[in-house]
Amino acid sequence: MLNIALFGPPGAGKGTQADLLIEKYNLHYISTGDLLRKEIADATKLGLQAKNIIAEGGLVSDEIIVQIIEKTINENPHTDGFLFDGFPRTYVQAYILSGLMIKLHTSLNCLISLELGEELAVQRLLERGKTSGRSDDNEEVIRNRLREYYDKTLPVLQIYKNKGIYVGIDSQNNIEQVHADVDKVLQSEVKKNLLNIIMFGLPGAGRGDQGLALAKKYGLQYISLGTLIEEEIRNETEIGLRVKQYREKGLLAPDEVFVQLIEQKLENTKGVNGFIFKGFPRTLVQSYILDGMLQQHGSGITKIIEIEVPALEAIRRLNARSKTKYAKAYDMSTENILNRMHEHEIKTIPVIEKYRLLYEIKKVDGTGTFEEVLELITNEIENR
C-alpha cells in the first residue's frame, strides 16, 4: 500500500494536488474537511456537532474525526493506498493515524508538507472564496483557521520529521511545478514500496511455475534469466551466441553478460508492483549485482523464498520434463542435469547463505501439489 498524508496550511493547495494524484496512483482520497462538509449537508448527528466549530474556523474534536475516518477506511478496504488531506491536524490525530495504519497492517509512507506563508494563504483563500461557496472562506474565519494551523497543527510535523518521513515542498510555485515536485516524491515511494521477490531452489523445485503464478497474482514482472537468455539466443544476438556455448554444456555464462539484460528489464518495465527473480542471482557476484541494481533503482529485496525439494525428487522431475514438450535444452542429458545440480550447490548455496545473514529467508516445502505450494508461498509473502 502507498499511504500519503498531505500537510500544509489552508490554501496551500492540498485538494488541488490530491486531485492530480488519486487517479494516477489509484489512492483512496480522505479529506476530513470534505467528509465533515458531507456530514453537515446530510444533517447527521456528527455534522450537527461539527457545524458551528467549522463555521468559526476552529478544529473539530478528535473524537468526531476518528469516527469519520474509521468509517471511510472500513468502507474502502481494497484500495492501493490512502491519501489523507487535512489529517492529522493534532498530536492525538497523529496517534490515531498510526493506530489505523497498524490495524491495516501497513504504515504511512510519507507526509508531504506543502509550505506556504500566511499572507499568501490568506490571498489564495479569499480568491477561492469568490467561487468555492464555502462559508469559512472569509477573512475573519480564514485568519482563525490559520491560527489553529500554526498553534495546533504545525507542531505535529516534528513527529514525522523525527520518523524521517517528512518531505517539505515549496507551495508558492504554480500548480504544475508543485505537482511535479509532489509526483517525484510519490514515484520514489512507489519504488521503495515495490514487492521484489527472489525465488531460490534446486532446478526442478518449481520456481518457474510458482514465480509466474505469483507474478500474475501480485502484478509483478517475472524475470527469469533463463527466459531472457532464450530470447537472446532465439534472436541470435551477440549475447545469445555467447551464452549458447556455455548453456549447452550446462554451465553458467560469465556474469557481465547478464548485467545488461537484467538492467534493461528493470529500466524498461513500468507500472508493475515489483519484480520476481528466478534463476538470478545464481552466484555471489550476481547477488552483489542485483543488490546494486535494485538500490540504483531506488528499491530493494522484499522477500526471499526458498522452495525445498529433495535432490532426488528434483532430478526425477527434470528427467520427466525432458520427455515432454516443455523440455529445456539443458534437461536433455543426465550429465547436464547433474551439472546444473552441481553448479547450484557450489555457486548458488553460498548466495543463499549470504542472504540468510541479511534477510529472513522463507523456506517452503515444494513437494506438494502446485496449488499447495503456491498457497504456502502466498502465506509467507503475506506474512500469514
Q: How far is the CB of 181 from ligand AMP (least distance, A)?
A: 21
Between 59 and 305, CB nearer to ligand AMP = 59
131 vs 196: CA distance, rounded Å: 47
Q: Is 57 in the site for ligand AMP (CB under 6 A)?
A: yes
Q: Which of 6, 46, 60, 114 binds ligand AMP (CB under 6 A)?
A: 60
Stretch that binds ligand AMP, among 31-39, 200-208, 214-222, 325-333 (CB under 6 A): 31-39
Q: How far is the CB of 180 from ligand AMP (least distance, A)?
A: 23
Cβ–Cβ < 8 Å for 59, 53: yes
11 vs 155: CA distance, rounded Å: 18
3 vs 181: CA distance, rounded Å: 17
Q: Is 229 in the site for ligand AMP (CB under 6 A)?
A: no
Stretch that binds ligand AMP, among 58-66, 98-106, 157-165, 332-340 (CB under 6 A): 58-66
Q: How far is the CB of 59 from ligand AMP (least distance, A)?
A: 4
Q: Which of 124, 145, 247, 362 binds ligand AMP (CB under 6 A)?
A: 145
Provide the pairing of β-strand 275-278 with 221-224: parallel
305 vs 352: CA distance, rounded Å: 10
30 vs 79: CA distance, rounded Å: 12
Stretch that binds ligand AMP, among 28-36, 193-201, 241-249, 365-373 (CB under 6 A): 28-36
Q: Is 36 in the site for ligand AMP (CB under 6 A)?
A: yes
**In sequence order, which residues have a C-beta less than 8 Å from that of residue 283 and are 6 or more positions away?**
252, 255, 347, 348, 351
Q: Is 157 in the site for ligand AMP (CB under 6 A)?
A: no
The secondary structure of residue 300, as a DSSP letter, is -
Q: Which of 6, 12, 54, 100 binds ligand AMP (CB under 6 A)?
A: 54
- The 75-104 contact track toward ligand AMP, x by CB under 6 A, reads -----------xx-x---x-----------
111 vs 157: CA distance, rounded Å: 9
Q: Is 32 in the site for ligand AMP (CB under 6 A)?
A: yes
Residue 311: phi and psi, rounded to 5, are -55, -40
CA distances to 2, 58, 339, 364 from 345, rounded to whole Å, are 39, 67, 10, 18
* All cell numbers assigned to 158: 516534528
Between 46 and 276, CB nearer to ligand AMP = 46
Instruction: Say how many residues touch ligand AMP, by CB under 6 A.
Output: 17
Between 62 and 343, CB nearer to ligand AMP = 62
Between 169 and 228, CB nearer to ligand AMP = 169
The runs of H, that is alpha helices, within the chain are: 14-25, 32-41, 45-56, 62-75, 91-103, 118-132, 139-148, 157-163, 175-192, 207-218, 225-234, 238-248, 256-268, 284-296, 311-321, 334-343, 349-358, 370-381
Cβ–Cβ < 8 Å for 350, 282: no
Q: Is 11 in the site for ligand AMP (CB under 6 A)?
A: no
Stretch that binds ligand AMP, among 17-25, 57-65, 287-295, 316-324 (CB under 6 A): 57-65
Between 101 and 251, CB nearer to ligand AMP = 101
Q: Is 337 in the site for ligand AMP (CB under 6 A)?
A: no
Please report, as ranges, the residues that interact with ligand AMP according to CB under 6 A: 10, 32-33, 36, 53-54, 57-60, 65, 86-87, 89, 93, 136, 145
